[in-house]
Copies of this chain bind each other. A is one copy, B any other.
Amino acid sequence: MKKTNIQGSNDKRNVNPNWFTSKTWMKVLSEKIKSKDQDIYHVHFEKGSRTKLHAHNGNQVLIATKGKGSLEIFRRYGTSKNNFKIKKTQKITLNEGDIVHIPAKTLHTHGSTDKKKTFSHIAINILPRKNSEYKTVWWESDFKTKATEVI
């Protein structure tokens, strides 16, 4: 049986920069500890960095481990791939130790909200079915302008 630690910059993995508004990196914890039921990551958001808008095909649990961040929930109006509107329906601040559950197919963003503070969380991505694949659909959005097309 193997353990690993959520902290520290060893075993860093770069993320797809198109999916984040600024610098972000992560550690894949579930690979290290051989947990196959779900993907478990530790994600480090540099100051002001957030995920772009996205939704998963399975449920997700976030556990804030350091800094100050938020989870924002959106609703999409319109089904066209690059002609739709979005509206923020909820904003949840995330401080150390906060834990939240995001249902599958919920449009959301999470990360640092304070430009002076980094933010880290554990993300537990729960497979929709045994041996299925956890999928994420990303929207192009820098949150300075607005969400546009699905990428």
Contacts and interface: CB of A to CB of B under 8 A. Distances in A.
A53 to B, nearest CB: 16
A4 B95 CA distance: 10
A34 B60 CA distance: 11
Interface residues of A, number: 40
B99 A63 contact: no
A61 interface: yes
A1 B37 contact: no
A102 B36 CA distance: 11
A92 interface: yes
Q: Which of A35, A65, A73 has the most CB of B within 10 A?
A: A35
A71 B2 CA distance: 11
A54 to B, nearest CB: 16
A59 B73 contact: no
Interface of A: 1-7, 29-30, 32-35, 37-38, 40, 59, 61, 63, 65, 71, 73, 90, 92, 94-103, 106, 122, 124, 126, 129-130
Would you list the 8 A-B pairs with minimal beta carbon distance, nearest first?
A35-B101, A33-B101, A3-B100, A6-B97, A7-B97, A5-B97, A37-B126, A3-B98
19 contacts: A1-B90, A1-B100, A1-B101, A3-B71, A3-B99, A4-B98, A5-B97, A6-B99, A7-B96, A33-B61, A33-B101, A35-B59, A35-B61, A35-B101, A37-B59, A37-B126, A65-B97, A124-B124, A129-B130
